Structure 1
Amino acid sequence: MKQRKHPQALPFLFLSEMWERFGYYLMIGIFTFYLKDSTQGFEMSEAESASLYGTFIALVFFTPFIGGLLADRVLGYRVPIVIGGLLMGVGYCMMGIHSYTMLYSGMVLVILGNGLFKPNISTLLGNLYNKDQFINQKDEGYNIFYMGINIGAFVCNIVSAFLINKYGYSVAFIGAGVGMFIGVIVFLLGNKHYTEGDVKKVAVPGEKAWWIDLLIVVVPAILFAIIGYFINGVPSETNEHSFLVKDDVTDAFLFACIPVIFFFGYVLFTAPKHERRVVSAILVVCIAVIPFWAIFKQNGTVLNTWANNYTNRDVPSSMKNGLKSMYLADTINYSKAEKPSPVLDKHFRKIGKEEAIQYPSYFKNYENTPKLKEGEQVVVFNSNIFQSVNPFWVIVLTPLIVGIFRFLRLRKLEPSIPIKFVLGLFITGLSCLVMVAAANASMNGEVKSSYWWFFGAYGVITIGELCLSPIGLSMVSKLSPARLTALLMGAWFISTSIGNKLSGVLASLWDEYDDKASFFMLNFYLMMGATLILIVLLPWLLKVFREQKK
């Protein structure tokens, strides 16, 4: 009998994750725009929206540790996936109801739902590949699975542009919820194929009960978060309250990480000697990729702002009428308010001597402004459409990267996981240099930047992403001791969480940088530092990973 190349469950898990990511990335793509919008949103500043965004996506990736532990020891994997999907769907719909109460309540549901859904669908997939006939295809299976994520992420921004242009933000958030509900339905349709992978871990003699591990981490994390939030620092002109950084919420998150770090230190040093080396290697890799997430997750903050205010989004003349009629392009009316402007963005070119006249932000560094007449419309692509550039590259490049690695594997030349991670970090750093070039080419934002810089930067960072993100999930599933798979998958997501929060902290500095090229150089230095650290540790990591394969 011919062996199957991939498990029968893969198409269902692929489509379930595709629709789940459709909903999530639709919501993330419009989140900061919604927070800053003065008519349908909450009129937040750039720093306020970046801080809330960073905290939100940090918590979204913090709860998978808890969800993975519950699934591993108590619930199995299928039940949490369904419950988590339903919670997220309801949460997306609630976020579109314009009130702070509904916004934050919806965010809480999304945080809890993702904690149940995200780690367990990844672990379930890995379990199905652990059978002998599939084990050699695990990396490839995760790459296919990852491409499913990005098909959903690509399509959702086009759908959200239509929904926002025709109905507004509220309906766009409902669209995200509908996508999530479709993902749950697809998952249930493939239920019979998951049986072999939906196996709870058997406790070994002397192992602590699952709820003890939960209490050891969660209760201290909550207590430390409260301390971090309320403890005050030394007042200054720019910082009156926070102890560590710019705001109390960030302090709370950083304090909450302290008991988590101690917990994983405890897991490492209490592991049997034969497990300790591989556990330490996985934890080192998790720490090393934090800077990657800090840069990559600026797609919802800094790069959204660059797309909205600094990028030429004009729709070609031949497409204007068609896209307008389909609600796939937005219009901006040229007008000027004859009143003193609040602090004009100093990064936009001042137009003539009319410094006190307030223009829509798109026209402040728009080369054609002098040619426009009062009330004239400019047809532009929605800013969130540019969120589809990254998933576009993932869809295009995944078959190529998978093919290259397969070609090398057949010739026994495939790079090991640590080398792939070094390549991923280095290539991500190069993407920062593309944005440095974009900032310089647009004279630091004085004129509109070409959207081709977006395609270039995202094309480069996507290669780095494909060497890191899907490979990381496969690494944890493949190399972890069986009894620690959920905990170490949780460590991977917590490292993502810390990186996500750091992305918000970095993005909140955007307005403080007069020279935008310097901001992107900061990102470059961060990535090069992480790359050098991993290079130093590479001989040890290679040795540990080789031992684990034997």
Structure 2
Amino acid sequence: MSDNNATPSSPNYPQLLGHPRPLWMLFMTEFWERFAFYSVSWALALYVVAHFFNGSATGQAWAATIFSAYTALIYASSIFGGYVADRIIGYQRSILLGALVMAAGLFVVMLPSRDVFLIGLAMVIVGNGLFKPNISSMVGQLYARDDPRRDRGFTLFYMGINGGALLAPLLTGWMAGYFTNTPLQQNYRIVFGAAGVGMLLSLLWFWFGRRSLQGVGRPAPEAEGLSRVAWVVLGTVVAVPLVYLLLAFVSSGLSWVLGLLFVVVAVVLLAEAARQGRVQVDRVVAMLIIFAFNVLFWMFYFQLGTSFNFLAENLVDRKMFGDWVFPTGWFQSVSPLAIIVLAPVVTMGWSFFAARDKEPSIPRKFGLGLVFNGLGFAVLMYALAHLLNGQGLIPFWPLALCYVLQTVGELCLSPIGLSMVTKLAPPRLVGLAMGGWFLSLAVGGQLSGLLAGYISGASGMTATSALSGFTFSFWLLAGAGVLLLLVAPLINKLMHGVK
């Protein structure tokens, strides 16, 4: 059994721009995978309404259910992918197999049948489980555990994620309307095809760049044989129809399944920590508390794929420069653009405070993330209560500003969370712990669909239902953020010096 995780002394890599050179290879591998993911994410719910409900708003609730189930399972599958990498075939092989399965699934999604569409989504979910947690874990393995550049390395890696997220809706939104010269809502399938090409680019980038890792992420010598890979391939073939069944028949009850998985992961991590002593147990407990608050953040953040899309489509005045209409999908580029602009600023801010021994602790950063997420909803509350025009539409800027405020919150929370897992998890189970991190996103994603379905109701979103739902969102986020800021000293004690 191998320990593929970060060690006190990582390989002596060549440096590029102050960081290990392989970071930039992983950066671009993740860039193209995120291009694929966010191409599907902006189009998915809109495609379901347009294609399977002929554009009727009555399809919004089911579209929200499918989007949230897809999002939840994307992240939940990371648990199994992390375990496969930790214990069976290593990180590099997991990433390569996952990328191949995802690419195939994205091309299957293009087919118009509802059942085939769900099978394609199931393939994407299973492949993503093998890919996503393991490439994030490998970033941590490039640095020694006490290397002060680790958080900044994850923030730079996060810029790669958002570079792909920025390009995806801009390019694929334009392709959907241009290449077929017909209305945008009829051409979402070209978006899925472009996502498949992006995933192939991610696969090729990692295939040719993996040698720079100097063996990090390879399986142990006794596990080098291909028989283990064959078993994982067989498991993948079995997993796809199981995930299809979850999407097709039990997506509304998925929260219970995910909750049970979360409990199992917590027990496994605590059991491993108990073998190493009280300090490691306390650190795992602190990590699990942060995971719980992370669920709340993503429950509301993931409205971008459902209720925010429906808001933009039906309740936002998108006319600009005469008769030109700002595409709904392009709103999805606001957040990654803001991250690319603001990530260096936030990184320099943390460095500035760290140099003066005043950098906020991990739980305080998470608390700030929740508060900024809540402020985004406060802007929408104001717009829906005071800025509706004669046609029942709000201006363009409140939704754009909401995305920017949520982005500030995301920068306070998400890259810090990835780094936190690599520092607080038991060393032998970093991959599983990273899967637990993504499972907390999965639970948030599933709950986001329940909220979006409530806001839309049986007949579709209205200004009144949106105002009610967004008001609830603001108060819950703000309250959770303030609570976390207040209990941060207690969580810091559990972390035993980890910063």
Q: 2:203 aligns to what?
A: 184
3-state DSSP class of the match of 2:211? helix
Counterpart residue type for residue 395 of structure 2: S
Match of 2:324, SS state, is: strand
1:146 partnered with 2:158: yes
Runs of 4 or more consecutive aligned structure 1 residues displaced over 4 Å after TM superposition:
38-44, 199-203
One-letter amino acid of the structure 2 residue matched with residue 16 of structure 1:
T
* Unaligned residue ranges in structure 2 (runs of 5+): 1-11, 181-186, 223-237
Correspondences of 1:101-250 after superposition (within 5 Å) = 101-130=115-144, 135-166=147-178, 167=180, 168-198=187-217, 249-250=251-252
Within the candidate set 468, 474, 490, 1:518 is matched to: 468
Structure-2 change in CA distance of 1:437 and 1:79 (3 Å): same
Find the counterpart in structure 2 of residue 308 from structure 1: 313
Distance (whole Å) between structure 1 residues aligned to residue 247 and residue 189 of structure 2: 31
Pick one of 263, 266, 290 that aligns with 1:264.
266
Summarize deviations over 1:328-383 as a string: whole Å, max 9, x none.
xxxxxxxxxxxxxxxxxxxxxxxxxxxxxxxxxxxxxxxxxxxxxxxxxx531221
Report the CA distance between 1:471 and its aligned residue.
0.4
- The structure in which a higher percent of residues are helix is 2
Give the CA deviation at 1:292.
0.4
1:298 aligns with 2:248: no
Cα pair distance change 1:201/1:300, threshold 3 Å: farther
Q: Which residue of 2 aligns with 1:489?
A: 434
Identity of aligned residues (%): 34
Q: Which runs of 5+ in 1 are unaligned?
A: 204-218, 231-246, 318-377
Paired with 2:429 and 2:145, the residues of 1 have a C-alpha distance of 18
Contact 2:45–2:305 (8 Å) recurs in 1: yes
Provide the aligned C-alpha RMSD in A. Answer: 2.8
Per the normalisation by structure 1, the TM-score is 0.77
- Given residue 432 of structure 2, which amino acid in structure 1 is its aligned partner? L
User: Judging changes above 3 Å, is the alpha-carbon distance between structure 1 residues 421 and 252 closer, same or farther for their aligned structure 2 residues?
Assistant: closer
Match of 1:83 among 87, 97, 103: 97
Q: Give the deviation of 1:485 after TM superposition.
A: 1.2
Give the Å deviation of 1:516.
2.5
Corresponding letter in the other structure for 1:187: F
Deviation at 1:447, TM superposition (A): 2.7
| SS in structure 2 of the partner of residue 470 of structure 1 | helix
- Asked whether the 8 Å contact 1:444–1:515 carries over to 2, the reply is no
1:425 is matched with which residue: 353, 370, 375? 370
- Say which SS state the counterpart of residue 78 (structure 1) adopts: helix
Would the aligned equivalents of 2:65 and 2:453 in 1 still touch at CA under 8 Å? yes
Task: Name the SS of the counterpart of 1:88 in structure 2.
Answer: helix
Count of residue correspondences: 452
Compare 304-313 and 247-256 and name the one that shifted more. Answer: 247-256
2: distance between equivalents of 1:420 and 1:305? 31
* Structure-2 separation of matches of 1:119 and 1:35: 28
CA distance in 2, matches of 1:448, 1:165: 24
In the alignment, the residues of structure 1 paired with residue 13 and residue 485 of structure 2 have an alpha-carbon distance, to the nearest angstrom, of 42
Match of 1:544 among 491, 494, 497: 494
Matching residue's letter, 2:100? L
Match of 2:45 in 1: 32
Distance 1:398 1:519 in 2: 30
Distance 1:528 1:444, change over 3 A: farther
Match of 2:65 among 33, 51, 62: 51
SS in 2 for 1:467: helix
* SS of equivalent residue, structure 2 residue 303: helix
- Encode CA deviations 1:386-424: one digit per residue, 9 max, x unaligned: 111111111111011011111111222211111111111
Which one scores higher on RCO, CA 8 angstroms, separation ≥ 6?
Answer: 2
Q: Assess if the C-alpha contact under 8 Å between 2:85 and 2:134 holds in 1.
A: yes
1:411-446 per-position Cα deviation (integer Å, ceiling 9, x unaligned): 222111111111111111111101111212333995
Query: Would the aligned equivalents of 2:33 and 2:198 in 1 still touch at CA under 8 Å?
Result: yes
Name the CA distance, whole Å, in 1 between partners of 2:119 and 2:214: 34
Q: Does 1:469 align with 2:414?
A: yes
Q: 1:149: Cα distance to partner?
A: 0.8
* Partners of 2:190 and 2:337 in 1: CA distance: 25
Query: Closer, same or farther in 2 for the Cα pair 1:255/1:479, shift >3 Å?
Result: closer
Q: Does structure 2 retain, via aligned residues, the 8 Å contact 1:439–1:445?
A: no
Aligned with 2:19: secondary structure? coil
Letter in 2 for 1:316: F
Residue aligning to 1:93? 107
